[in-house]
Structure 1
Amino acid sequence: MGKYFGTDGFRGEANISLTSDHAYKVGRFLGWYYGELRRRNGGARTGGDFEVSWRGADENKPRIVIGKDTRRSSYMFEYALIAGMVASGADAYTMHVTTTPSVAYITRTDDFDCGVMITASHNPFYDNGIKVLNGDGGKMDEATIGLIEDYIDGHLEVFGQKYDELPFARKDQIGRAVDYMAGRNRYIGYLISLGVYSFRGMKVGLDCANGSSWSVAPAVFEALGAKVYAINTEPNGTNINRNAGSTHIQGLQKFVVDNKLDVGFAYDGDADRCLAVDEKGNVVDGDGILYIYGRYMKERGKLVSNTVVTTVMSNFGLYKAFDEIGIGYAKTSVGDKYVHEYMVKHGCRIGGEQSGHIIFMKYATTGDGILTSLKLMQVMMDRKKPLSELAAPLTIYPQTLINVRVKDKAEAQSDPEVQAKIGEIEARLEASDSGRVLVRESGTEPVIRVMVEAETEEEARTSAEDIAGLIRRKFGAEE
């Protein structure tokens, strides 16, 4: 991870650690950099031939598409990014309030040089972030992210030259801002086209988290025939994710049961993740979704390489369930970025995280919450079974996660006494094939995360407390 950009973009509190000046500089760099790449590539978009598809488009100007979520600060960052891009000679196409997956889709299908999504995903409204996508709709490569950071810090060196400042576009080379609401509408049409079955007769609850999905998800489900019961669809700039969506799913659980719905789906602020609720009010998380759809793919001969890609945070019970039905699995570091990289490298078709980031590689380049809910509906309609029955063979083991704030993460992690304690508990759980231990450093905080899974909640809790207590006593820092 870089100085500003983490695994999921440049994220921080608006006007504190992430400012409009940062956004302007990101826009300035992207507009100039992709213009320079075009100039050096004879006017072609990086990675392929460019065809002029828009009236009045200048094939030598880079084209960048921008979307945003419903946070109050998203407008500020949108305008700052646009200002930077057009000042550098790029045309900025604005999709306005939309989902991260829609920006990824339009970037890829409409031949944009790159895409930008303004969002802090599941974070509270006062945070925000800038996600940069490459021309294929995937996460931007680390080398380009490094150049953006270098420019922000004032010591950019690229193309064999040092730049104290980037040149401004002049006269007719100055870029323009183009309304591109049509892009969001085309994405909605794409999702509808993936509907294999009619949802007529199904009562579906949607928790839109007062975020990006409020103007997309209900329209898709209604078009496919479902009776839609949507909640948290009135964003006001400060209520995104507030007691709503996939991070506060209790509201949807009660809503599904009270209204006798067939199923419910909860999205986060930018709708790149989805959690489900069955007709009984039980949560089906990302692990459950990977199990249900991975098994569905295997039964139909569609699970290429017979591998589902997970992260190290997936539940022990998921792996036991996969073992029982003969499905292989891979484990990556935490972050859908790493899941996607593994899937691309090894040709896997499905992967994701416990948190609900699920990637269906045939249909998308990033986690897509609305697509995920459509795919779960497909299994329910095809197998003519409720979600509770589809998830029933999967036993999720109780899990305890304790975060310990420390003075030195590396020292705490490598300490011989800590490692001995971890080994002792691991050996006990492995001997009975009843759980596992994961102790890792946080990528963003001075914290060691201690996670234990076991057959009982008590065993998971006491084992995690044993390890966390030792780390806290030897290396703990004040909160």
Structure 2
Amino acid sequence: MVAFGTSGLRGLAVDLLAGPGYAHVCAFARHMLAGGSLAPGAKVLVGRDLRASSPELARQTIAALAQSGLTPVYCGVIPTPALALQALKLGAGAVMVTGSHIPADRNGLKFYRPDGEIAKADERAIAALARENAGSAAPSELPRLPPPDDEAVAAYLARYRTAFPQPVLQGKRVGVYRHSSVAADILVDLAGALGSEVVRLGESDGFVAVDTEAIDARTADRLKAWSRDHRLDAIISTDGDGDRPLLADETGRIVRGDALGLISARFLKADAVVTPVTSNPGIVGGDGFRLFRTKVGSPFVLEGMAAATAAGHRAIIGFEANGGLLIGSPIALPTAELEPLPTRDSVLPILCALTSAFGAGLELSALVAGLELPACASGRLENFSRDDSERLMTWLSEDEENVRTFLGGLGDLSGMDDTDGLQMTLSDGGSLHLRPSGNAPEMRCYASAQSEERTSALLAAGLERIRRFAQVPGLKTG
């Protein structure tokens, strides 16, 4: 199935390449032209990640844009935020060919208007237009991908070299986990420019799906081993398309994305912070900023940032639990003014954290400990059908007693929040949050408590119960 999720169009690569990918790009072009966001002949930037299916999907994308009367500009292998930044600068549209962090057999498309990411209303309109042309297919003969325009990557690098000119990493050893991240070379460049000795780690020949919100145990162990063996002060990386950061401290322990968001909010002196309900519940505002909570997905964060602007805030950022940072207003730094970049970015939160820690003479672990946030953990059940997700969530929503049955033995229920999925708060302050993924057939589970031991136990129990209850016919118990 090909469908819009929390961020962009997603589906199996074979399905996208069979016609729906081409049809959705044509629908995007038609929608942009009809609404006046783009004029005939207007430029639309096209970038891609390193998945095996991405070159072919990029060729189809370029053909669809050209057939629709627009001018595609191929930017090659590039981080999504770099493509979006250039599109904003040029007043152009953009299409990023990427499945982000999902498995290699899947892929997707992210669409941008000249003023930033498309909204949920745009998604609905594009999906409707694509259905009208459901039988259309890409031309059998597609042109080769042209030489890429490299201005977008250069502008992205210049943005952060200007904003962070001081060699705060002098004397530090920073590992760059390259895997198949489109941002690997950019991270090497920036870490070196900040004065660090860069150690390249884990480059991959094929695509590696790195979900920065749910790092698997093997990757976590590799990070710890690399940190120890190479005597590293930090490890930095991103997901596949470079819009979600990965940061590990000097022990190889991962710094959660929501902690990165809070560090960034303080560093950037934000007066409004927008983040989904899945971010750490210990983030409650203060530090000079007002907190806005939303559903999961960058379109909802963007809506929250618009609400913050309407409320009169002038230094607005958003972030997701995966660490992707959005800038909704100009942000003044001592060295430069950062222009708005209202799409998820991985590089800025990494630089904010490294500068905050090492600029103050701290280790990363000490900086994170100083946030005094509750312990959080997240996990997922892969290949968990949407039907099972729907049955489970419907059953839980029907009766509070069903929730108590699900929680049985984990603690007393003291509150619930159904903003996105179901968050169940326990009387000891711990919580479990269940949410079907919007991008893939997965069920996600988030846990929080005062101690890491309690958090790990809640997460393990939550995942086990999701699996067990979804297998019970009619979800009847006892």
Q: What TM-score range do you get, normalising by the shorter chain?
A: 0.7 to 0.9
Aligned partner of 2:397 among 414, 419, 423: 414
One-letter identity of the residue aligned with 1:290 = G
Please show how residues 19-418 of structure 1 align to structure 2 within 5 Å.
19-35=17-33, 46=38, 60-112=40-92, 114-136=93-115, 138-154=116-132, 179-198=148-167, 199-234=169-204, 236=205, 238-241=206-209, 247=215, 248-297=219-268, 302-304=269-271, 307-319=272-284, 328-347=290-309, 349-361=316-328, 362=331, 363=338, 364-393=341-370, 394-397=372-375, 399=377, 405=388, 408-409=391-392, 411-416=394-399, 417-418=401-402
Q: Identity, % of aligned pairs?
A: 23
Contact 1:263 1:279 in 2 (8 A): yes
Could you say if the C-alpha distance between residues 154 and 426 of structure 1 is closer, same or farther in structure 2, counting changes exceeding 3 Å? same
Could you say if the C-alpha distance between residues 183 and 467 of structure 1 is closer, same or farther in structure 2, counting changes exceeding 3 Å? closer
Alignment partners' CA distance in 2, 1:471 and 1:241 = 26
Could you say if the C-alpha distance between residues 78 and 111 of structure 1 is closer, same or farther in structure 2, counting changes exceeding 3 Å? same
Alpha-carbon offset, residue 75 of structure 1: 0.5
Could you say if the C-alpha distance between residues 165 and 3 of structure 1 is closer, same or farther in structure 2, counting changes exceeding 3 Å? closer
TM-score, normalised to structure 1, is 0.78
Alignment partners' CA distance in 2, 1:22 and 1:84 = 11
For residues 398-417 of structure 1, give each alpha carbon's deviation from its aligned partner in whole angstroms, at most 9, with x where no partner exists.
54757583562453122322
One-letter identity of the residue aligned with 2:157 = I
Contact 2:380 2:442 in 1 (8 A): no
Contact 1:100 1:117 in 2 (8 A): yes
For residues 445-475 of structure 1, give each alpha carbon's deviation from its aligned partner in whole angstroms, at most 9, with x where no partner exists.
7776554433453562586479645665464
Gaps of at least 5 residues in structure 1 are 39-44, 47-58, 157-163, 169-175
Alignment partners' CA distance in 1, 2:47 and 2:172 = 31
Higher-Rg structure is: 1
Contact 2:446 2:459 in 1 (8 A): no
Contact 1:99 1:212 in 2 (8 A): yes
Could you say if the C-alpha distance between residues 461 and 184 of structure 1 is closer, same or farther in structure 2, counting changes exceeding 3 Å? closer
Could you say if the C-alpha distance between residues 434 and 211 of structure 1 is closer, same or farther in structure 2, counting changes exceeding 3 Å? same
Could you say if the C-alpha distance between residues 349 and 145 of structure 1 is closer, same or farther in structure 2, counting changes exceeding 3 Å? same
One-letter identity of the residue aligned with 1:375 = C
One-letter identity of the residue aligned with 1:5 = F
One-letter identity of the residue aligned with 1:425 = D
Alignment partners' CA distance in 2, 1:121 and 1:180 = 22
Alignment partners' CA distance in 1, 2:380 and 2:61 = 38
Alignment partners' CA distance in 1, 2:426 and 2:77 = 52
One-letter identity of the residue aligned with 2:414 = A
Alignment partners' CA distance in 1, 2:207 and 2:26 = 31
One-letter identity of the residue aligned with 2:188 = P
Alpha-carbon offset, residue 98 of structure 1: 0.4
Alignment partners' CA distance in 2, 1:422 and 1:360 = 39
Alpha-carbon offset, residue 426 of structure 1: 2.4
